Amino acid sequence: MRRALVVAAVLAAVLAPGADAHFGTGKLGYRSTITRVDPRMPGLRFKILYGDDQVWLDNRSGKTVIIKGYAGEPYLRFAPNGISVNINSPAGYLNQDRYARVQVPKSASASAKPKWEKLAGGDVWAWHDHRIHYMNPIAPPMVKAAPRKPHHIFDWKVPATDGGKTFFIAGSLDYKPPPKSDFPTGLVISLATLVGVGLIGLFALRRVLIRSLR
């Protein structure tokens, strides 16, 4: 039962990260973009969702793709038979909050043997990734100094493997002053996204708990 609760917590985090995570900060002018996949991997398509919040992958390569966690451990697995999460990866817990303000259990570490739990069938999944956004609710110094000017914040990389071959999803986080009139619309869209993803997460949590009690 205890293991089932741990699994459920990680699945809920992957399916529906904390409220802050799914708001993103695109409405505040921050936006991540993918600049390249190095080296290029045929059959893989990537994009960024919600400004700077999630990385989306469509794996049509026919190979197993592993997304690495923050300490280089296996985090997500895109295999021909579906998509799984390693519940021993600290990333699953750190992603519960946009700024990783959570306590990671001792059972989750980069050196722990992976324990894979299936998330879904198919080829498409999106996950929150701290590497693609600014890890502080306070604006970067250059934005604070000149909030009405565009800025390059930093370049980022997300490591992965495709059929055992290492590659990187590389991108850029940038700031562009948002039109003030865009804020209410962005907020409404973010709230709708939060509600929808939250319902999915609750459904998955209920399914795992029911399965564990049988």
Domain count, the chain: 1
pLDDT per position as a tens digit, 127-160: 999 999 999 999 999 999 999 999 999 999 999 9
**Mean pLDDT throughout 165-193?**
72
Q: What's the pLDDT score for residue 15? A: 52
Exposed e or buried b per residue across 99-138, where buried means at least 16 C-beta atoms within 10 angstroms of its C-beta: ebeeeeeeebeeeeeebebebeeebebbbbbbbbbbeeee
> Quick one: which of 99, 42, 31, 92 has its CA closest to 65?
42
* Whether the bond into 39 is cis, omega within 30 of 0: yes
For residue 25, give every residue at least 6 positions away whose Cβ sits within 8 Å of its Cβ, in sequence order, or none.
Answer: 51, 52, 53, 133, 134
**Mean pLDDT throughout 110-136?**
97
Average pLDDT, the chain: 82
Cβ proximity of 92 and 13 under 8 Å: yes
**Mean pLDDT throughout 179-189?**
51
Per the DSSP assignment, residues forming a β-bridge with 3 are none
pLDDT per position as a tens digit, 26-58: 568 999 999 999 999 999 999 999 999 999 999
The residue segments making up the domain with residue 98 are: 2-213
What is the band of 192 on the pLDDT scale with cuts at 50, 70, 90? very low
For residue 24, give every residue at least 6 positions away whose Cβ sits within 8 Å of its Cβ, in sequence order, or none.
Answer: 30, 49, 50, 51, 52, 53, 54, 133, 190
> Quick one: which of 60, 53, 7, 55 has its CA closest to 26?
53
Q: What's the pLDDT score for residue 45? A: 98
- Residue 207 confidence (pLDDT) above 50: no
Tokens 């994009």, located at residue:
47
**Prediction pTM value:** 0.78
Q: What's the pLDDT score for residue 180? A: 75
Task: Please state, as a whole number, how many other Cβ atoms lie within 10 Å of the Cβ of residue 71.
Answer: 12
